[in-house]
Amino acid sequence: MKRLAFLFSGQGSQHEGMGLDFIEWSPVFRERYEIAQKVLGWPPAELSQPEKKSDLNITIYTQPCIYIVSCVIAEALIEANAAPHLTAGHSAGEFAALTAAGAWDFETGLRVIAERARLMHETSKPGAMAAVLGLAPEIVELVCEEWPEGVVRAANFNSPKQTVITGEPEAVQAVAPVLKEKGARRVLPLKVSGAFHSPLMKEAQQQFAEFLERIEIQDLRIPWISNNTAKAVVDAAGVREHIVKQFCEPVRWVDSMDVVQKECDLAVEVGPGEVLKGLVKACLPDFPCCSTDSVEGIKEALSRIFED
């Protein structure tokens, strides 16, 4: 069988209706949502309804909802004998990736990402993020490092032509014209509530580290590619270290895709939307990737996985 990379969607991939056809399709999915409601104290399935769209986009709800959908899709694939060779997740997607890799069970991972989302929502200082399109990542990084007024950093190295910056709102806004002068095609503000993956998340990071001390983490069954280093991690201590660092460190997705290309034959985006499928194509134009955003998407992915 093909060596599969399971790539787990992050914040921004959520959309109304996500996961609802899974609930109708399988009792396993319904059971997972019932468990999640007990853990979270609110009904995650309801947030996929059109009238709840604004709530779904609030960080404290977004991250757990994406986690749930991603985990149940991964379970369906594995149950169909399409197990991953390795996993990786984009930012918030790392937690479902760790569940699939064996770091913890579904409920534990849900509690972890719910706490992460709460801390990001409640303790982060005012911040902003923006996507820089059409400019080499190293130039974006250098401009941010040399910026003299306020905090601004490169946050997500998503593709050779897309880098997300993060920091204080004034600094992110002020650096945009400079990036355009350097050759950026566009600098697009993102709809986020904080400066994720920046030093401004330090307080949330410290509180998360304290919370994580009470969480048991297992050595992994398969490699997990860390956002921080784009290297494989399999030991529990390494997992603990990397997911704490993730609060303030950038997402090195381009480098992570280099590992996927070397180690795997096919990438499967596990979770809602097709954001990562687009990033895979931008990073590795000839590398195959399929999405699993719906029941039909899962069936099509399985067909592609097992084709000769």
Catalytic annotation, residues:
91, 197
Measured over the CA atoms of residue 104, residue 110, residue 115 and residue 121, the dihedral's sign is positive
Minimal CA–CA distance to 194: which of 1, 11, 8, 55?
11
DSSP string, 10-45: -TT---TTTTHHHHHH-HHHHHHHHHHHHHHSS-GG
For residue 296, the tally of other CB atoms under 10 A from its CB is: 11
Distance set, CA 91 to CA 136, 251, 253 (Å): 21, 7, 9
302 in Cβ contact with 80 (< 8 Å):
yes
Q: Residue 205: in which H helix or E strand, if any?
A: helix 202-212
DSSP string, 61-105: HHHHHHHHHHHHHHHHHHHTT---SEEEESGGGHHHHHHHHTSS-
